[in-house]
Structure 1
Amino acid sequence: MSDDVAGPLKVLLVCHYYPPHVGGIENVVRSEARHLTAAGVEVTVLTSGDRSSVTDEDGVRVVRVRAWNGLERKADVPFPILGPKLLRRAVRWARWADVVHIHDAFYMTSWAALIAAKTTGTPTVATQHVMLVHHKSAVVGLVQKAVYATAGRLLMRTAHTVFTLNSDVAAFVRGLGARPERLRHLPNGVDTALFRPVQDAAEQAAERERLSLPQDSVLVLFAGRFMPNKGFDTLLAAADPAYRLVFAGGPAEALAGAGGSAIYLGSLAPAEMAAAYRACDIFALPSMAEGFPLTVQEAMSSGIAVVTTDLTGYAAYDLDRDRVSLVDRDTETLRVRLREIAEDSELRGQMGKYAREYAVERFAWPDHASRLIEAYRSAIDPGKSSADRG
């Protein structure tokens, strides 16, 4: 914030869900909130919840508006439905803020925040995490296209800065009208202290015992929502005697029929997820379209070998392809590569060492927060603070 604006920088972070709800975007926003707060920023998060509330969580004000989550429960579409109170809350906290930071244009929380920002004259910054997400329902696909063509286009055209994770998402938002000079490449951060490598064989054995995992197998971990775009079904089909498959996430029904080929851990809190990475040997995510998935970053930080789909979005990250395995998204290619890594402990060690070093150098949250603050300061009109908006 410029010297003309008194007091600490006030930021309203907006996301559709927030922990304890499990998901990548919500974990990113919580980490942003915590590290911005540590940097002296006053942060309010506007999100959905089972009931309306305002709470203090680790020094962050979290404003939850009651939502109906039937679409997530019944159709595996993470889209909370909120009522009129959302817009009232959005206007209240947009007026308080110096800048509104909206995460992904697809959700009702984002639409309300955009209207509120325009109503109060508060500048906006956006992070677009994904492009169109593949879903088995054609209706869901049509709704996505309609939302991005309307609310998405408006947000991308008006946001002072639009952060994207890779070139694919950048091209997507340019297609929605985002100005090229306003686009910024910004990887998500990762907690490299929490997601750390296993210290030795004894610690890995202890983590496996705690999670009821077999001690005598090479374990391949998948973490995320069990949706087709994440590729969990491709990984299931790539089962092989050389390794055991371990799944963290949900819903459990998606693994019905997998039998003994899959071990299900359920949805895990961050500390448990970190333990799962340490307990396993390889992380596999054969997804169809991603930015740079947070789970891949966590696995790299945890120092285990990573196998994921060779998507163009990874190009900007200049990864050593001998040390992070980027493969075609087909079952046999995936199975062959996983078997090669499972049968070569020296290779797994080399891949894990590279992944950890890369994560520590590139994914530090304090650096991420600093770049956000720079964008916030640039977006703010020096002549109009939150106090000026009443």
Structure 2
Amino acid sequence: MSDDVAGPLKVLLVCHYYPPHLGGIENVVYSEARHLTAAGVDVTVLTTGDRSSITDEDGVRVVRVRAWNGLERKAEVPFPIPGPKLLRSAVRWARWADVVHIHDAFYLTSWAALTAAKVTGTPIVATQHVTLVQHKSAAVGLIQKAVYATAGRLLMRTARSVFTLNSDVAAFARGLGARPERMRHLPNGVDTALFQPVRDAAEQAAEREKLDLPRDGVLVLFAGRFMPNKGFDMLLAADDPAYRLVFAGGPAEALAAAEDSVIYLGSLAPVDMAAAYRACDIFALPSTAEGFPLTVQEAMSSGIAVVTTDFSGYAAYELDRDRISLIDRDTETLRLRLREIAADFELRQQMGKYGREYALARFAWPDHASTLIETYRAAIGPGKSTADRG
């Protein structure tokens, strides 16, 4: 399809949440939307919110359908339940779009978009972000399995292309019926201009002062939702006099029993989150069943040492394990590794330098957007557009 003949490429991105809601998937979609728009794509995001609305946000059309979010508040399950307008909105915007890009198969927004795309005949592209997420509730685990075995299987078999973030998620998608020839490894991008290292000790001191952080000592940062699968509770248990723990995210109540030495920054906007990375020395994320979390990429781009859980899914990234610390998920192992890094300034410098160079080489958002556009055009086919569907 030629833009000068058929107009700009029109893409519907579908995500259960979208900023200002805090979370990795919504941050990915936020960045994709902006970089696609910068590349000349007409982007609409279909998501949920506290109320229904259609807004223009920096050139991106954001369609929010009012949803009940009680499951996240009451059971730590990020699963919004939209109202009856969801399917109608999905059909309207799927008919408008040249391609529908659905992020993760688990959510009601994804099911509605899948149904709408089938009704309108719009090609589908999917990104599967995770495998089954461990949760303290057995019922939640059973629901996940049921959802992926039904709606997940249908999406993986229907999508003309399926993006995955690592080999574990790729195996999971293949198990749901995704065709190997339609699958593609695509790391998330990161804003390497926003998330960049401090130049020197004076700049780090200034960042600490701005965030009201201690001027002296080694600071270990956690960023994300305070949920068991993220490992925030394990990091709390690994508290040690050799370093101070700093938490960004929420909900705040999850830290109610934390020691007085633990510092809570709240939920931060991206620019403040970038400052938090620069103000700290080590990023720790002892999570379970994640791919390559966006926070890890941001920490690498920010030039600080990274400690996270070792998963087979990291194999596709060919990381230097002497420079990115991938450890067994065990409290004492975590504590000992953090103490080792905290005590060795030169090691922290080497780890940070490696992470920054890797991020610059592998995580550029413009390259990510170019890959998406190439895939969308292949899914649509030559000369096709919304006009061909009536």
Q: Is the TM-score greater than 0.5? A: yes
User: Residue 2 of structure 1: CA displacement?
Assistant: 5.5
Instruction: Show the counterpart of 2:124.
Output: 124
Q: For residues 102 and 317 of structure 1, what CA distance do their matches in structure 2 show?
A: 24
Runs of 4+ residues over 3 Å off in structure 1: 1-5, 381-384
Instruction: Show the counterpart of 1:58.
Output: 58
Three-state SS of the structure 2 residue aligned to 1:260 is coil
- What residue identity is the alignment partner of 1:77? V
Instruction: Show the counterpart of 2:329.
Output: 329
User: Residue 288 of structure 1: CA displacement?
Assistant: 1.3
Three-state SS of the structure 1 residue aligned to 2:385 is coil
Instruction: Show the counterpart of 2:375.
Output: 375
Which residues in structure 2 correspond to 1:21-40 (within 5 Å)?
A: 21-40=21-40
User: Residue 4 of structure 1: CA displacement?
Assistant: 11
Q: For residues 50 and 227 of structure 2, what CA distance do their matches in structure 1 show?
A: 23
Instruction: Show the counterpart of 1:320.
Output: 320
User: Residue 22 of structure 1: CA displacement?
Assistant: 1.0
TM-score (norm 2): 0.98
Three-state SS of the structure 2 residue aligned to 1:132 is coil
User: Residue 383 of structure 1: CA displacement?
Assistant: 5.4
Give CA-to-partner distance per residue, 1:14-68, whole Å, 9 cap, x none. 0001111111111100100000011111101000011111111111111111111
Q: For residues 310 and 261 of structure 1, what CA distance do their matches in structure 2 show?
A: 28
Instruction: Show the counterpart of 1:70.
Output: 70
Q: For residues 23 and 251 of structure 1, what CA distance do their matches in structure 2 show?
A: 12
Q: Any unmatched runs of 5+ in structure 2?
A: none
Q: For residues 108 and 187 of structure 1, what CA distance do their matches in structure 2 show?
A: 24
User: After the TM superposition, which of the residue ranges 132-141 and 159-168 deviates more from structure 2?
Assistant: 132-141
Which residues in structure 2 correspond to 1:142-181 (within 5 Å)?
A: 142-181=142-181
Identify if the C-alpha distance between structure 1 residues 17 and 3 changes in structure 2 by more than 3 Å, giving closer, same or farther. Answer: closer
Contact (CA 8 Å) 1:5, 1:385: kept in 2 or not? no
When the two structures are aligned, how many residues end up with a matched partner? 390
Contact (CA 8 Å) 1:10, 1:99: kept in 2 or not? yes
Q: For residues 76 and 329 of structure 1, what CA distance do their matches in structure 2 show?
A: 21
User: Residue 3 of structure 1: CA displacement?
Assistant: 7.6
Identify if the C-alpha distance between structure 1 residues 96 and 5 changes in structure 2 by more than 3 Å, giving closer, same or farther. Answer: farther
Contact (CA 8 Å) 1:164, 1:170: kept in 2 or not? yes
Confirm or deny that 1:196 pairs with 2:206: no
Identify if the C-alpha distance between structure 1 residues 254 and 3 changes in structure 2 by more than 3 Å, giving closer, same or farther. Answer: closer
Contact (CA 8 Å) 1:2, 1:377: kept in 2 or not? no
Instruction: Show the counterpart of 1:299.
Output: 299
Q: For residues 105 and 4 of structure 2, what CA distance do their matches in structure 1 show?
A: 31
Contact (CA 8 Å) 1:100, 1:125: kept in 2 or not? yes
Three-state SS of the structure 1 residue aligned to 2:191 is coil
Q: For residues 358 and 233 of structure 2, what CA distance do their matches in structure 1 show?
A: 29
Q: For residues 337 and 2 of structure 1, what CA distance do their matches in structure 2 show?
A: 54
Which residues in structure 2 correspond to 1:1-390 (within 5 Å)?
A: 1=1, 6-382=6-382, 384-390=384-390
Contact (CA 8 Å) 2:163, 2:184: kept in 1 or not? yes
User: Residue 5 of structure 1: CA displacement?
Assistant: 6.7
Q: For residues 66 and 315 of structure 2, what CA distance do their matches in structure 1 show?
A: 40
Three-state SS of the structure 2 residue aligned to 1:350 is helix
Give CA-to-partner distance per residue, 1:224-271, whole Å, 9 cap, x none. 111111111111111111101111111112112112241111111111
Q: Any unmatched runs of 5+ in structure 1?
A: none
Three-state SS of the structure 1 residue aligned to 2:378 is helix
Give CA-to-partner distance per residue, 1:170-217, whole Å, 9 cap, x none. 000111011011110000000000001012111111111111111111
Identify if the C-alpha distance between structure 1 residues 103 and 258 changes in structure 2 by more than 3 Å, giving closer, same or farther. Answer: same
Contact (CA 8 Å) 2:22, 2:225: kept in 1 or not? no
Q: For residues 69 and 233 of structure 1, what CA distance do their matches in structure 2 show?
A: 23
User: After the TM superposition, which of the residue ranges 298-307 and 68-77 deviates more from structure 2?
Assistant: 68-77
- What residue identity is the alignment partner of 2:142? L
TM-score (norm 1): 0.98
Three-state SS of the structure 2 residue aligned to 1:207 is helix
Q: For residues 254 and 267 of structure 1, what CA distance do their matches in structure 2 show?
A: 13
Contact (CA 8 Å) 2:49, 2:67: kept in 1 or not? yes
Give CA-to-partner distance per residue, 1:48-101, whole Å, 9 cap, x none. 011111111111111111111111111111111012210000000000000000
Q: For residues 140 and 333 of structure 1, what CA distance do their matches in structure 2 show?
A: 29
Three-state SS of the structure 1 residue aligned to 2:260 is helix
Three-state SS of the structure 2 residue aligned to 1:257 is coil
- What residue identity is the alignment partner of 1:156? M
Identify if the C-alpha distance between structure 1 residues 239 and 95 changes in structure 2 by more than 3 Å, giving closer, same or farther. Answer: same
- What residue identity is the alignment partner of 1:74? K
- What residue identity is the alignment partner of 1:251? P
Q: For residues 208 and 3 of structure 1, what CA distance do their matches in structure 2 show?
A: 47
- What residue identity is the alignment partner of 2:210? R
